[in-house]
């Protein structure tokens, strides 16, 4: 498979390694720091607007190789590609249950485990050596960081960022576009557009305000 990466920074380099681990080929790295399309060796470099031309020319699939969830969503909206134009990249050292579902544009890093009946949305980053347990639902544009443990039946909303080494206990939900701090342990539902940190995780910020210590849950 030929793959076009949208983005050309550190996260894109990691995804490029994922692509080549499966014997596939990165044929283009598109980023708006480039003003025009040019070929260097076997790879094209150019602005993201070149993607439509390259899809037609090379019969390639696309991955948005940007770590920031909101930026990834913005680029997907701007490109306006069909789902069929996106690749789902699974590193050869990841384990994905045959009954799990992964959406287009999603990337699964080495050492990841996705267990039975889990449903992972589109343009999701499942980072190194994390676990998504059975019956979890992970929304579009989420990023689950290295070493996180998402236990059974958890619902993770669109655009959520779960920090490295965080744990979410079974059947809890994390609302859309929330952030869970690294190493946190989520034992309660988290409302959308919130930031929660600590053991156990407490909400320290919502979309409207920073939560004072006195007003946090005891």
Given a contact cutoff of 8 angstroms between Cβ atoms, the answer to whether 28 and 4 are in contact is: yes
11 is an annotated ligand-binding site residue: yes
194 is an annotated ligand-binding site residue: no
165 is an annotated ligand-binding site residue: no
* Structure tokens that stand for 107 in this block: 């990337």
The Cα–Cα gap between 79 and 202 comes to 37
The Cα–Cα gap between 34 and 146 comes to 30
175 is an annotated ligand-binding site residue: no
The Cα–Cα gap between 148 and 166 comes to 5
The Cα–Cα gap between 45 and 165 comes to 35
Report the candidate in 41, 43, 31, 2 with the shortest Cα–Cα distance to residue 19. Answer: 2
Catalytic residues: 134
* β-pair partners for 150: 132, 168
123 is an annotated ligand-binding site residue: no
Binding residues: 9-11, 67, 143
Please give the annotated binding residues for acetyl-CoA, written as ranges: 143
Residues belonging to the binding site for substrate are 9-11, 67
């Amino acid at each position: 498979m030929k793959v076009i990466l949208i983005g050309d920074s550190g996260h894109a380099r990691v995804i490029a390694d994922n692509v080549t681990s499966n014997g596939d080929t990165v044929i283009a790295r598109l980023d708006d720091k480039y003003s025009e399309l040019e070929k260097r060796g076997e790879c094209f470099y150019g602005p993201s607007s070149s993607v439509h031309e390259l899809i037609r020319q090379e019969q390639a699939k696309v991955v948005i190789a940007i770590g920031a969830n909101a930026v990834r969503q913005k680029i997907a909206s701007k490109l306006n590609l069909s789902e069929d134009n996106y690749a789902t990249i699974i590193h050869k050292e990841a384990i994905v249950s045959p009954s799990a579902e992964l959406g287009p544009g999603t990337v699964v890093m080495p050492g990841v485990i996705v267990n039975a009946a889990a449903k992972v949305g589109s343009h999701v980053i499942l980072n190194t050596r994390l676990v998504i347990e059975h019956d979890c639902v992970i929304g579009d544009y989420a990023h689950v960081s290295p070493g996180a443990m998402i236990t059974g039946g958890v619902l993770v909303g669109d655009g959520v960022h779960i920090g490295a080494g965080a744990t979410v206990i079974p059947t809890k939900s994390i609302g859309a576009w929330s952030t869970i701090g690294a190493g946190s342990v989520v034992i309660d539902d988290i409302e959308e557009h919130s930031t929660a940190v600590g053991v156990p995780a407490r909400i320290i910020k919502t979309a409207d305000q920073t939560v004072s210590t006195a007003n946090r849950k005891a």
